[in-house]
Structure 1
């Protein structure tokens, strides 16, 4: 028998979720193993240079790290259910949703997980494998996760806005997913998988935010179930068939983009400006690592605004890696399509996408590096 792929991850991991869901939908034979297993520490970590998930190990021994790259690896090999839409407009939207899921929802996802630890501690302790011992290393991992909140802009004055933003996002998703099984019709795109990460692992699984979702947005919770199924799982929407026809962009879809802009637009512009300034001052050589250590995720902090409130947030170079993918899809749009996209971005407060900048991030040998033209 052919050996299966091995997906190293964890059930509650935000970035493992998209990879797992995509592999199931694509019919890829795989087994999922915990990143706590000795093989991960002894064989995978030395190869990738850091402890990070998800990681896919192919039957041939090739290692692919990051859910985005895992999806692209399978796509390159060929799949009957591609996650990349054929319409240029839909492809751009799919990348935009993937960017938002990867970056724009981190604040809400981490807030609802850790700010409500007192209300869902037993669930999280179980997820992280915490024992009764005070020196259990899992407790240290949880404390480290909690320490990220200030850098994500989670503070007493922003928490009410974060929670209102979550309710507003669920309302926008519910309006669309009550009519369509997936974002772009009857099949999932990279945009669905991108949003699935935080909306499943944190917001749709942890008790406090999951209860809100189930009560206020049942169609959104049903979308989560669909994405985790090995087939399309649309018996309740039997007339859905393939992508939305033509270049259709329903009002509910564009309203979702507007809500995304309200959540991350100002912060995205501030982070991109900080990264460009940092790049210009640093003047790196092509291939230089973006950070001093492979596991270092944040390069600095920048002042910003969150839903009108002054804010200060950490800047991760991985953001630029995701932005570049979205901007490539934007640059591929022509004439009326580009005019439509520019107008949508401007209306949504996401006009920073597509602006000229020299800073670029690539991934080589499993780490992010500066890339010069």
Structure 2
């Protein structure tokens, strides 16, 4: 407990706010949540973050931190009951890849089920956006959010595949949670916080996907409840002490989930990274310069790729490298023989290309904005 609580600026229906909120609750961190229409957000917070974006955490000392990764890493450094990064290099890397899958690759699932079924969910969504942003802004924000679908790869050809993908994911997760309460054992890792982002705010609240989850995957729905509860809500697993998996053979249910993820994120991730490489080579950005000309623009272009064989066009956000290069950092600090063993395991799972390597640049964050840095 702190002398004054942290302040979380966000919204109930926000994917990334949900990720941070779950972390704060699970760790027992004292906080209050405020909406973006709170006067402090406009007068004090926006000038410090440079763009209208959530979540934002304000510390008791007045420090302002934007972005779910930066918020969680800051709190980890302060000391928490349940640190989220496993000591095992393999589990650490896999956790970051799962976080990427939830927070980036699953945006198409989350946004499709929210906006493609808008008519069936209109009252719920309008209430959520009005409560979160105020009546005057709700319609404008809803229109802008729904317009993102094409740039996420949601089109008539991909929609049936997205829905098949989601049903398969629910089945895989349901089987896994029959064995253990969290993705990497009996305590939550950054993998759980990455996956809860879409599986709570959109897929675990909006009426259409929530019904699908409840009907098809009751253990997944229970995991969503667990992740949004205070502390570790593991009453169904009394024999399991809070710990990550041993650094040995992966459980079959986890391996099946990882192979599913590998089939979902490629070739899209490969094509995005290739586009970014070409963009950096052409533009030669200065060290420390923002990744885009305007802070509110997060994409540097569009790339043609595929999702489960369907042609899609997606926006390329340098932020994805900011997320995944943390896995690269874990790999690089290992001794050479262990590094090769890790790569071999990742290759067997189809995930070695999810650890970006061999680049002369990276993406950092300065003043709450992504920027280009030398590797």
CA–CA separation in structure 1 for the residues paired with 2:167 and 2:187:
25
Q: Which residue of 1 aligns with 2:17?
A: 16
State the shift of 1:34 in Å. Answer: 0.7
CA–CA separation in structure 1 for the residues paired with 2:131 and 2:58:
27
CA–CA separation in structure 1 for the residues paired with 2:326 and 2:79:
20
2:57–2:65: 8 Å Cα contact kept in structure 1?
A: yes
CA–CA separation in structure 1 for the residues paired with 2:289 and 2:301:
17
1:332–1:204 distance in 2 versus 1, CA, 3 Å: farther
Q: Which residue of 1 aligns with 2:104?
A: 103
Q: Which residue of 2 aligns with 1:330?
A: 331
In the alignment, structure 1 residue 79 sits paired with structure 2 residue 80: yes
Q: Which residue of 1 aligns with 2:361?
A: 359
SS at match of 1:362: strand
Stretch deviating more after TM superposition (236-245 or 147-156): 236-245
SS at match of 1:156: coil
State the shift of 1:258 in Å. Answer: 1.0
SS at match of 1:53: coil
State the shift of 1:49 in Å. Answer: 0.6
State the shift of 1:345 in Å. Answer: 3.9
State the shift of 1:359 in Å. Answer: 3.2
SS at match of 2:353: coil
2:332–2:339: 8 Å Cα contact kept in structure 1?
A: no
Aligned residue pairs, count: 371
State the shift of 1:336 in Å. Answer: 5.3
| Cα deviations by residue, 1:5-50 (Å, 9 ceiling, x for unpaired) | 1000101100001111111111211101111211101100001111
1:104–1:260: 8 Å Cα contact kept in structure 2?
A: no
CA–CA separation in structure 1 for the residues paired with 2:311 and 2:156:
13
Q: Which residue of 1 aligns with 2:92?
A: 91
CA–CA separation in structure 2 for the residues paired with 1:333 and 1:240:
30
CA–CA separation in structure 1 for the residues paired with 2:333 and 2:170:
30
1:99–1:326: 8 Å Cα contact kept in structure 2?
A: no
Q: Which residue of 2 aligns with 1:286?
A: 287
2:26–2:229: 8 Å Cα contact kept in structure 1?
A: yes
State the shift of 1:185 in Å. Answer: 0.9
Q: Which residue of 2 aligns with 1:177?
A: 177
State the shift of 1:340 in Å. Answer: 4.7
1:127–1:249 distance in 2 versus 1, CA, 3 Å: same
CA–CA separation in structure 2 for the residues paired with 1:354 and 1:140:
37
In the alignment, structure 1 residue 368 sits paired with structure 2 residue 359: no
CA–CA separation in structure 2 for the residues paired with 1:245 and 1:360:
32
Which consecutive unaligned segments of at least 5 residues does structure 2 have? none
SS at match of 1:370: strand
State the shift of 1:344 in Å. Answer: 3.3
Q: Which residue of 2 aligns with 1:255?
A: 256
- Structure 1 segment 342-353 matched on structure 2, within 5 A: 342-345=344-347, 347-348=349-350, 351=353, 353=355
Q: Which residue of 1 aligns with 2:139?
A: 139
1:170–1:341 distance in 2 versus 1, CA, 3 Å: farther
| Cα deviations by residue, 1:208-237 (Å, 9 ceiling, x for unpaired) | 111111111111111111111111111111
State the shift of 1:91 in Å. Answer: 1.0
2:174–2:218: 8 Å Cα contact kept in structure 1?
A: yes
2:97–2:354: 8 Å Cα contact kept in structure 1?
A: no
2:331–2:339: 8 Å Cα contact kept in structure 1?
A: no
State the shift of 1:311 in Å. Answer: 1.9
1:301–1:314: 8 Å Cα contact kept in structure 2?
A: yes
The CA RMSD measured in Å over matched residues stands at: 1.9
CA–CA separation in structure 2 for the residues paired with 1:338 and 1:127:
48
- Structure 1 segment 19-168 matched on structure 2, within 5 A: 19-129=20-130, 136-168=136-168
1:275–1:359: 8 Å Cα contact kept in structure 2?
A: no
2:5–2:60: 8 Å Cα contact kept in structure 1?
A: yes
SS at match of 1:360: strand
CA–CA separation in structure 2 for the residues paired with 1:169 and 1:30:
32
